[in-house]
């Protein structure tokens, strides 16, 4: 009796997971013109909120939704200005001239946006400023995405900024102490960091996804605590930017 061998189809190799985006190469030091005067303050990062492909028509063109994001309070006394510029008036007064990456890259924005409901340094945190960008203005920049869900107390997170005193952009580890609809708070592993000029930095998870927008911090009983606009509020505010 002849034996028939039934050969199964070769097992497909599992696709390698794409490497996590490097948030350091999405982070920059912004320079602005404010009513004709120059202002260099804080930190910014590249955020990509382009809609994913449609399941029904995956090849349909999708308009890009790219932003350079920072903190609104930089455009007031915290950034060295005489008075705070409200978000609705930001397009009339502020232009981002460049955002300088850690390796000297010059990224640019095409338009300053107004964000309804954005206010500086007040609970619930809505301290967000955003600048629309085009792919051509973000050459060689990593584009960060928002996480699907926020962290919980005890989770490890990283703030991506220059806080070591040497001007270099790094990831600084922290552990979440609170996350709610009003704020995200975390304790830095290193309580000697210099938080000056870190406002506007991304708070990311281990996969480089954005969990919040860092606003600053303070010492509390020996801990160096950071605070941020939480994920869902950040998503809503930038989604409503005009």
Tokens of 87: 């978000």
Of 66, 78, 86, residue with least CA distance to 41: 78
pLDDT at 205: 98
Percent of the chain at pLDDT > 70 equals 88
Structure tokens at 41: 């303050």
Provide the pLDDT confidence category of residue 234 given band limits of 50, 70 and 90. Answer: very high
pLDDT in tens, 2-25: 433 333 344 444 456 667 899 999
Q: How far apart are CA 97 and CA 26, in angstroms?
A: 17
How far apart (Å, rounded) are the C-alpha atoms in residues 140 and 137?
A: 9
Cα distances (Å, whole numbers) of residue 13 to 6, 8, 86: 21, 14, 54
Which carries the bigger pLDDT value, residue 147 or residue 242?
147
Q: Write down the domain spans for the chain.
A: 23-52+62-144, 156-235
- pLDDT, position 56: 63
* Helix-strand-coil split of the chain, %, nearest 5: 15, 35, 50
What pLDDT sits at residue 100? 97
Output the pLDDT for position 12.
45
> Residue 12's Cα: distance from chain center in Å?
37
23-52+62-144 classified as CATH 3.30.2310: no
Do 23-52+62-144 and 156-235 come out as alike in CATH topology?
yes
Q: Is the pTM of this model over 0.85?
A: yes
Name the fold adopted by 156-235.
Thrombin, subunit H (2.40.10)
Per-residue pLDDT at 6: 32
Whole-number Å distance between alpha carbons of 159 and 93: 29
Token readout for 112 is 């300053």
CA 197 to chain centre: 15
What is the rounded CA–CA span in Å between residue 96 and residue 28? 12
The 10 Å Cβ neighbour count of residue 48 is 20
92: part of which helix (H) or strand (E)? Answer: helix 90-93
Q: For 169-224, how does the pLDDT look when each residue is reduced to its tens digit (9 = 90+)?
A: 999 999 999 999 999 999 999 999 999 999 999 999 999 999 999 999 999 999 99
């Amino acid at each position: 009796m002849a034996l028939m061998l039934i050969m199964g189809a070769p097992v497909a190799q599992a696709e390698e997971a794409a490497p996590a985006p490097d948030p350091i190469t999405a982070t920059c030091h912004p320079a602005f013109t404010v009513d004709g005067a120059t202002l260099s303050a804080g930190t910014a990062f590249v955020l990509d909120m382009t809609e994913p492909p449609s399941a029904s028509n995956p090849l349909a063109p999708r308009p890009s939704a790219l932003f350079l994001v920072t903190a609104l309070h930089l455009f007031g006394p915290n950034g060295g200005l005489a008075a705070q510029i409200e978000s609705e008036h930001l397009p009339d007064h502020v232009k981002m001239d460049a955002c300088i990456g850690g390796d000297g890259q010059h990224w640019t924005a095409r338009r300053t946006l107004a964000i309804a409901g954005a206010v500086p340094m007040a609970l619930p945190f809505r301290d967000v400023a955003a600048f629309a960008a085009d792919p051509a203005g973000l050459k060689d920049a990593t584009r960060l995405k928002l996480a699907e869900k926020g962290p919980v107390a005890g989770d490890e997170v990283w703030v991506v900024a220059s806080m070591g005193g040497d001007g270099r952009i790094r990831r600084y580890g922290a552990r979440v102490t609170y996350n709610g609809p009003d704020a995200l708070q975390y304790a830095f592993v290193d309580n000697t960091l210099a938080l000056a000029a870190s406002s506007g930095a991304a708070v990311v998870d281990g996969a480089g996804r954005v969990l919040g927008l860092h606003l600053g911090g303070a010492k509390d009983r020996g801990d160096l605590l950071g605070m941020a606009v939480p994920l869902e509020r950040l998503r809503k505010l930038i989604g409503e930017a005009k």
